[in-house]
Amino acid sequence: MLHSLSIGELADHLAERKISSVELTRHFLARIERFDPSLNAMITLTAEQALAAAAAADARRAAGERGPLLGIPLIHKDIFCTDGVRTSCGSRMLDNFVAPYDATVVARLKSAGAVMLGKANMDEFAMGSSNETSFYGPVKNPWDTTRVPGGSSGGSAAAAAARLAAFSTGTDTGGSIRQPAALTGVTGVKPTYGRVSRYGMIAFASSLDQAGVFAGSAADAALVLEAMAGFDPNDSTSVDVPVPAYAAGLNAPLKGLKIGLLREFFDGLEARNAALIEAALDVYLSLGAETVEVSLPSLPLSVPTYYVVAPAECSSNLSRFDGVRFGHRCADPKDLLDLYRRSRGEGFGAEVKRRIMTGTYVLSAGYFDAYYLQAQKVRRLITDEFRTAFTRVDLLLGPTTPTPAFAIGAKIDDPVTMYLNDIYTIGANLAGLPALSLPCGFVDGLPMGLQLIGPHFAEERLLNAAHQYQQATDWHRHGPRGFE
């Protein structure tokens, strides 16, 4: 079936005229119509625009143009501004917001000829680890619709896992690509901070947010990331570093690759999860890699550090949503203060309010030094320890999540327990490092993820290591039942 083919295979079919982009787009739109009611992965479907874009892609191919993404359907996380299309960020606050321009990620993929099918559901303003905080309701995991897909990019992950598109975009602030990728059995890549433009990506925590991709394999992710990445003068945090041909480096041998085993990742790891990581490590050893045990003593402090830094930044970023210029506005405000109070009270959900209040508190005059400044010092310690580790090893390896997908509703009323779902992923965001998650097996019939972390701008090495693992295993080829 078409939806089971890789991006490369679909591109070959299009190049050989075995199928047109319009036909391929209709195929995926039909899958969304059939399967999304049971998943709630989509917020907005753009069928008419998609078919027009597919026809344009077919015309470009007929004129002799070639490209790996030309005519390939995708789904964008609803955090990326899309010209003329609602961009809600999963919130009532932006339920009526239609973006007047394209985010750089959207523009670059559009330029490459990719066809947007619609916008994916997400935790409100990217704040959540389960995709239960969305104004549009929870997304359900295709492997078991009573369970969460992870968050905040849960809609994008579920769409990729159920093959509602050839790939999808996401964002990762504390693990929001890697964690849902692990829980839904797909490959998810978070690039180095600054590698992919944040222009037009609605901000949660500006020093942590990074755009990335969900795909069926590392090889597919390499094709997409190459089109997304690169310097953008519109983004002051964008880094002007050349983008390698990621796909060209996938087949490099791993002999001599030094993989670091983070001691802190394995302390207290559940036995069945640990067994999957050990089995993955055996695969890497058979491919010629070497292992070195490393320790980052400050890494256990990553969760409390993150939950000071991220709320502080979100309290600043979300202050623009005041009911005056755009977004939700309350009815019949009595005065300006009432407009602010009721617009924000009605527009924001409970988790967003919790983080805004936390962030405002840690930035307040009496507590700034005790909380925010201290968190930034610990962040620097974590970054320095990662940098030291990478003088000894090429990559770090460990689990992506502590457990498989949990039941919808199981943790939503316990924020602290929910926050601990990101315990293995947050460190890479604090240090601005590239990282990815790829499927490595199952626990209780649910997918689990293997995480690889690299030094800054080592995406090529990460994708190569992930691809070689996927060439030697078939975990990434397993899909949820009922979505064949």
The DSSP element (H or E) to which 44 belongs, if any, is strand 42-45
The number of residues making up the chain comes to: 484
Per the annotation, the verdict on 4 as an active-site residue is no
Is 236 tagged catalytic?
no
Residue type, 329: R
Residue type, 409: G
Catalytic residue among 176, 298, 302, 315: 176
Torsion angles phi and psi, residue 455, rounded to 5 = -70, 170
Distance, CA of 416 to CA of 316 (rounded, Å): 22
| Conformation bin of residue 257: beta by default, left when phi > 0, alpha when psi is -120 to 50 | beta
DSSP state of 82: B
Position 347, amino acid = G
Instruction: Decide if 176 is catalytic.
Output: yes
**CB contact set of 347 (below 8 Å; sequence gap of 6+):** 91, 92, 93, 321, 323, 327, 328
- Residue 128 CA to residue 179 CA, distance in Å, equals 11
CA 423 to CA 418: how far, in whole Å?
A: 10
What sections of 92-167 are H helices per DSSP? 104-111, 154-161
What is the CB-side half-sphere exposure of residue 408 using CA atoms within 13 A? 19
Tokens coding 219: 């090889």
User: By three-state DSSP, how is residue 453 classified?
Assistant: strand
Please choose, from the candidates 204, 218, 183, the residue with its C-alpha nearest in 3D space to the C-alpha of residue 77.
Answer: 204
Catalytic entry in 20, 21, 77, 302: 77
Catalytic residue among 152, 197, 217, 343: 152
Q: Which residues are catalytic?
A: 77, 152, 176
